[in-house]
């Protein structure tokens, strides 16, 4: 059961956090995804909130199946009540209510189901946090590659610019130089856009890691890992067994069944047992004057309002059906999402292979041929610009496909309840 998987105690967590802090101070120049995930697990306030909620739910189990507090009552007479044995001065009463026995057991089981559901909520929150960190980290790695490719394209344009400039000085049309200038500014504008996106993503990653933006390093790396295609069918089967959201809903379904049972048990009475002791003064004339009497008491409540009882049962039954339908809806939604993600992984992986192995080498060769042809006045500057633009777009598309694969795999791992960390990478 998930509840048996406890988290490290506070002292060990503090030591782990301190060690991670020292690690980050010494390795900020090369923050890996694994380090980012470890930092998020150790420092995230979001996980701490979920953990405290789990502790609260677990603590509530202990009180759910216990008897209600007993009642101790003191009655003091301002004016004594005269009796044969003497004046009554005070009455002491002790009462303990005992619910119908199955009620206590059902309440404890209900609290246990709630605690199990909250534990799975923690697991789901943990997966979503790691997914967010992975997505932002991979996006930063993509933007880094995109910036590098765009800067390389600017260098190519600069080299071409010097060639065209020499030709213009030799009498060629100025229009070629102007067209190249327009393309250079367009690429510069795109480069600035990428840099601004990187700034926003860095801020998001810093927030997820509970650290300052200035503490982040400047380099981010693509993890090289792919889920084998042979595992896709197994993942569909695994979803029902390991998805934290579905597991939490199952516990809530079981909890709603216990709540329905508790509503039915409310038709049965509760019992109250008591002891009453009367303090009597010594002023009486009888032979037993001053003798304090006592009595045992017994009471039972009468759940006779059947309309109220039936209403509680109907409400609990409707709530049970609602949770069951919610589970079914979530199950279908997650299966559809997993199918789409598996398709995205397959498509993006094939695209990245195609771009890396075929299209980018062809575009590089075409650019070299275009540069040679332009220097020989065989093509126009527009054709040269098109070749440079095609290479840049292919590079950007390739890195986008790589990022899509990794982000989709992270989403898949979050769906099936497996933390996406570099310990799984090759």
pLDDT (tens digit, 9 = 90+) per residue, 297-336?
A: 999 999 999 999 999 999 999 999 999 999 999 999 999 9
Q: What's the pLDDT score for residue 198?
A: 95
Q: What's the pLDDT score for residue 68?
A: 93
Q: What's the pLDDT score for residue 262?
A: 95
Output phi, psi for 275, to 5 deg.
Answer: -130, 125
From the number of C-beta atoms within 10 Å of its C-beta (0-12, 13-18, 19+), residue 261 rates as middle
Q: What's the pLDDT score for residue 8?
A: 39
Q: What's the pLDDT score for residue 29?
A: 54
Q: What's the pLDDT score for residue 218?
A: 78
Question: Taking residues 380-401, what's their average pLDDT?
Answer: 90
pLDDT at 288 exceeding the cut of 60: yes
Contact between residue 158 and residue 185 where contact means Cβ atoms under 8 Å apart: no
Q: What's the pLDDT score for residue 3?
A: 40
pLDDT at 228 exceeding the cut of 60: no
Question: Taking residues 375-379, what's their average pLDDT?
Answer: 81
Q: What's the pLDDT score for residue 285?
A: 64
184: left (phi over 0), alpha (psi -120 to 50) or beta: alpha
What is d(CA 243, CA 240) in angstroms, rounded to the nearest whole number? 6
Q: What's the pLDDT score for residue 1?
A: 39
Q: What's the pLDDT score for residue 23?
A: 44
What is d(CA 211, CA 214) in angstroms, rounded to the nearest whole number? 8
- 177: confidence class by pLDDT, cuts 50, 70, 90: confident
Q: What's the pLDDT score for residue 7?
A: 36
Question: Taking residues 236-247, what's their average pLDDT?
Answer: 90
pLDDT at 99 exceeding the cut of 90: yes
Q: Which is higher by pLDDT, 31 or 95? A: 95
- 91: confidence class by pLDDT, cuts 50, 70, 90: very high
* Neighbour tally for 197: CB within 10 Å: 16
pLDDT at 401 exceeding the cut of 50: yes
Q: What's the pLDDT score for residue 170?
A: 74
What CATH number does domain 2-66+99-268+303-424 carry, 2.40.110.10, 1.20.1600.10, 1.10.357.10, 1.10.3470.10? 1.20.1600.10
What is d(CA 281, CA 85) in angstroms, rounded to the nearest whole number? 8
* Lookup: tokens for 162: 């010097």
Question: Taking residues 408-421, what's their average pLDDT?
Answer: 79
Least confident window among 3-12, 35-44, 303-312: 3-12
Closest CA to 143 of 406, 396, 420: 396
Q: Hey, which residues does 298 pair with through a beta bridge?
A: 273
pLDDT at 4 exceeding the cut of 80: no
Q: What's the pLDDT score for residue 123?
A: 94
Q: Which is higher by pLDDT, 281 or 145? A: 145
Least confident window among 23-37, 118-132, 360-374, 408-422: 23-37
Q: What's the pLDDT score for residue 5?
A: 37
DSSP-assigned states of every residue in 161-193: HHHHHHHHHTT--HHHHHHHHHHHHHHHHHHHH
Q: Which is higher by pLDDT, 328 or 13? A: 328
Q: Is the CA virtual torsion 260, 261, 262, 267 positive or negative?
A: positive
């Amino acid at each position: 059961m998930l509840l048996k998987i406890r988290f490290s105690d506070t002292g060990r967590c503090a030591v782990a956090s301190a060690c991670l802090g020292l690690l980050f101070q010494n390795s900020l120049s090369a923050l890996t995804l694994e380090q980012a995930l470890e930092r998020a697990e150790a420092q995230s306030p979001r996980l701490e909130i979920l953990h405290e909620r789990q502790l609260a739910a677990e603590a509530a189990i202990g009180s759910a199946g216990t008897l209600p507090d007993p009642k101790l009552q003191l009655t003091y007479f301002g004016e004594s009540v005269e009796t044969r044995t003497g004046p009554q001065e005070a009455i002491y009463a002790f009462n303990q209510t005992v619910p119908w026995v199955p009620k206590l057991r059902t309440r404890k089981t209900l609290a246990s189901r709630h605690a199990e559901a909250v534990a799975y909520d923690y697991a789901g929150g943990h997966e979503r946090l790691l997914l967010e960190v992975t997505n932002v980290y991979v996006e930063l790695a993509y933007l880094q590659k995109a910036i590098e490719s765009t800067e390389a394209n600017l260098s190519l344009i600069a080299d071409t610019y010097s060639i065209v400039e020499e030709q213009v000085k030799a009498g060629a049309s100025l229009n070629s130089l102007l067209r190249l200038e327009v393309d250079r500014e367009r690429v510069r504008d795109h480069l600035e856009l990428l840099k601004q996106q990187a700034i926003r993503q860095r801020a998001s990653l810093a927030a997820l890691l509970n650290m300052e933006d200035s503490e982040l390093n400047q380099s981010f790396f693509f993890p090289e890992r792919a889920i084998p295609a042979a595992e896709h069918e197994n993942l569909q089967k695994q979803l029902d067994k390991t998805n934290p959201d579905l597991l939490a809903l199952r516990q809530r379904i079981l909890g709603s069944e216990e709540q329905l049972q508790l509503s039915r048990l409310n038709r049965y009475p509760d019992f109250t047992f008591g002891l009453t002791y009367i303090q009597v003064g010594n002023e009486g004339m009888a032979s037993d004057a001053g003798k304090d009497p006592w009595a045992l008491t017994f009471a039972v409540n009468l759940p006779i309002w059947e309309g109220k009882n039936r209403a509680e049962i109907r409400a609990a039954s409707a709530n049970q059906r609602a949770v069951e339908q919610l589970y079914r809806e979530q199950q279908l939604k997650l299966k559809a999402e997993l199918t789409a993600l598996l398709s995205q992984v397959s498509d993006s992986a094939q695209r990245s292979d195609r771009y890396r192995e075929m299209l980018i080498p062809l575009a590089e060769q075409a650019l070299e041929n275009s540069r040679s042809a332009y220097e020989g006045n065989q093509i126009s500057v527009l054709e040269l610009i098109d070749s440079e633009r095609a290479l840049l777009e292919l590079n950007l598309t390739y890195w986008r496909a790589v990022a899509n694969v990794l982000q989709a795999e992270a989403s898949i791992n979050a769906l099936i309840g497996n933390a996406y960390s570099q310990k799984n990478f090759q």
